[in-house]
């Protein structure tokens, strides 16, 4: 499943040259992953409350290809690559008018917050991501 999430670049997202500060792309893709999970039917708050489970970022591979600027309308595109055991890997891109400005491959791990140990994806989460 591919998910698209719109983002507008605000002044606070930019540096002195009104270009998006590099670290803010990580914030953009975090929001995109959260909305992708929500759209798939994964309620992260309920997962936390009921099972003490949460997703933590394990690895990010990122490429900055072209700058975004103040007031640009962007889209975060999130696509599932793999979900197995405790691991979920997604491809994410930040686009402007269909042109990729930033791309990343992100691996998150489902962990039990009481122990901070990896935990297999619950069957309902696995099914939601597969659907």
Is 15 an active-site residue? yes
Residue 1 has pLDDT above 90, yes or no: no
Q: List, for residues 50-98, the tens digit of each pLDDT value.
A: 999 999 999 999 999 999 999 999 999 999 999 999 999 999 999 999 9
Q: H-helix or E-strand containing 128? A: helix 123-130
Please provide residue 16's backbone torsions phi and psi, each rounded to the nearest 5 degrees.
Answer: -60, -25
Q: List, for residues 29-54, the tens digit of each pLDDT value.
A: 999 999 999 999 999 999 999 999 99
Tokens of 97: 């008018």
Longest CA–CA span in the chain (Å) reads 47
**SS3 label, residue 107:** strand
pTM of the shown model: 0.94
Catalytic residue among 15, 50, 63, 71: 15
**Predicted confidence band at 131 (pLDDT cuts at 50, 70, 90)?**
confident
CATH of domain 2-130: 3.10.129.10
Ranges of each domain in the chain: 2-130
């Amino acid at each position: 499943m591919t998910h698209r999430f719109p983002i507008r670049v605000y002044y606070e997202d930019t540096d002195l040259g009104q270009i998006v500060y590099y670290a803010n792309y990580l914030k953009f893709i975090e929001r995109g992953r959260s909305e992708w999970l929500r759209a798939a039917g994964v309620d992260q708050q309920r997962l936390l409350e009921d099972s003490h489970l949460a997703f933590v970022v394990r690895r990010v591979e990122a490429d900055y290809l072209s700058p975004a600027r103040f007031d640009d309308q962007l889209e975060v595109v999130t696509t599932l690559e793999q979900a197995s055991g405790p691991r979920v890997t997604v491809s994410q891109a930040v686009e402007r008018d269909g042109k990729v400005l930033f791309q990343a491959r992100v691996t998150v791990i489902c962990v039990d917050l009481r122990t901070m140990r990896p935990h297999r994806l619950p069957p309902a989460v696995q099914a939601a991501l597969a659907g």
